[in-house]
Structure 1
Amino acid sequence: MQRTLVLLKPDAVQRRLMGEIISRFEKKGLNIIAMKMLQVTPTLAKEHYAEHVEKPFYPGLESFIISAPIVAMAIEGLEAIRVVREMLGATNGLNAAAGTIRGDFSSSRQMNLVHASDGEEAAARELALYFNEDEICAYNPVLTSFMRAADE
């Protein structure tokens, strides 16, 4: 099992796409083991996007991510990092395949609805920024045996 951070960005919240996006993760068989709505502060934005702070596009990125509430989720599942990123599609919604979240709902590079960790180290670091360990509620749904074989 793997855990990843998923953020429903301000555009997903403002466009009322939260339920639609969350349902896609649930239908895929991924477990949402923590979730909360919050307002990203400039300090949290700088921590989250630390590798981008010195880049010329950072001010616009920060301005966007703090512009409205987001929904942060800890998602768990088999190969969750890869699976979630494939479900999102290409970063630029104009290049994302139909059937992906961005392909179906985004036509922008920056306003691309969702962030997801890109690797195990990033997932661990990002999850710690948004959730305390006591906020994680890992569970095994009773329908798991109908979604994958016991040895998967």
Structure 2
Amino acid sequence: MLLGLLCSSSLTFYYLGILQHLQFPLSQAMMELHIHSGCIVLITGIHERTFIAIKPDGVQRRLVGEIIRRFEQKGFKLIGMKILQVWQGLDVVKITRAMMGETNPADSAPGTIRGDFCVEVGRNVIHGSDSVASAVREISLWFQPEELICWNDCTADWIYE
């Protein structure tokens, strides 16, 4: 299991429960690092990832397909799913948060998932990471690295410059 945490001007990685420090300026952190399987370890740019969980009320209301459809149509790449989902793409955390709408559905705009399908905070159908650091932590809680599929999306050239 790999977890990256931002620490001021350096990055600290925890790998398989063993503390290993890889210290370098954050400007260098923008470079992609790979593990031997070809999956990206430090995830930035179009490789940024977020954790999405469709909550029980979303499943009961049969909104899973609609929610997945919205993220697919936005151009994000689904790389892990157990009803919990890991999406990858440029600014995926910020954009998926906007697509979900505000935590309080009453404050959510029409066209957002919560604005279209929710009425109460306690039944707001979806959870999404609120930062890249949270996404790294949440993904590592639910997915082993080998459970995330690294694949080339032929539409990426049509979405990203």
Q: TM exceeds 0.5?
A: yes
Residue 29 of structure 1 and its aligned partner are, at CA, apart by 0.3
In the alignment, which of 125, 131, 136 is matched to residue 137 of structure 2?
Answer: 125
In the alignment, which of 112, 120, 123 is matched to residue 124 of structure 2?
Answer: 112
Task: Say whether 1:9 aligns with 2:55.
Answer: yes
Task: Give the aligned CA root-mean-square deviation in angstroms.
Answer: 0.8
In the alignment, which of 130, 135, 160 is matched to residue 148 of structure 1?
Answer: 160
Answer with 26-35 or 131-140: which moved more. 131-140
In the alignment, what sits opposite 1:25? 71
SS, match of residue 32 in structure 1? strand
- Aligned mates of 1:95, 1:138 — CA distance in 2: 36
| More helix by percentage | 1
Residue 144 of structure 1 and its aligned partner are, at CA, apart by 1.5
In the alignment, which of 81, 91, 106 is matched to residue 79 of structure 1?
Answer: 91
In the alignment, what sits opposite 1:35? 81
Q: Which has the higher contact order (CA 8 A, sep 6+)?
A: 1
- Aligned mates of 1:125, 1:148 — CA distance in 2: 26
For 1:65-88, what per-residue CA distance to the aligned partner results, in whole angstroms no more than 9, with x for missing partners? Answer: xxxxxx200110001100110000
Moved over 6 A (4+): none
| More strand by percentage | 2
Runs (5+) with no aligned partner, structure 2? 1-46
**TM-score, structure 2 as length reference:** 0.69
- Aligned mates of 2:133, 2:159 — CA distance in 1: 28
Q: How many residues align?
A: 115
Answer with 132-141 or 22-31: which moved more. 132-141
Task: Say whether 1:134 aligns with 2:146.
Answer: yes
SS, match of residue 67 in structure 2? helix
Residue 120 of structure 1 and its aligned partner are, at CA, apart by 1.4
Residue 148 of structure 1 and its aligned partner are, at CA, apart by 2.4
Question: Which residue type is aligned with residue 111 of structure 1?
Answer: R
SS, match of residue 123 in structure 2? coil
Residue 147 of structure 1 and its aligned partner are, at CA, apart by 1.9
- Aligned mates of 1:118, 1:100 — CA distance in 2: 16
Residue 28 of structure 1 and its aligned partner are, at CA, apart by 0.2
Identity value in percent? 42
Instruction: Give the greater-gyration-radius structure (CA).
Output: 2
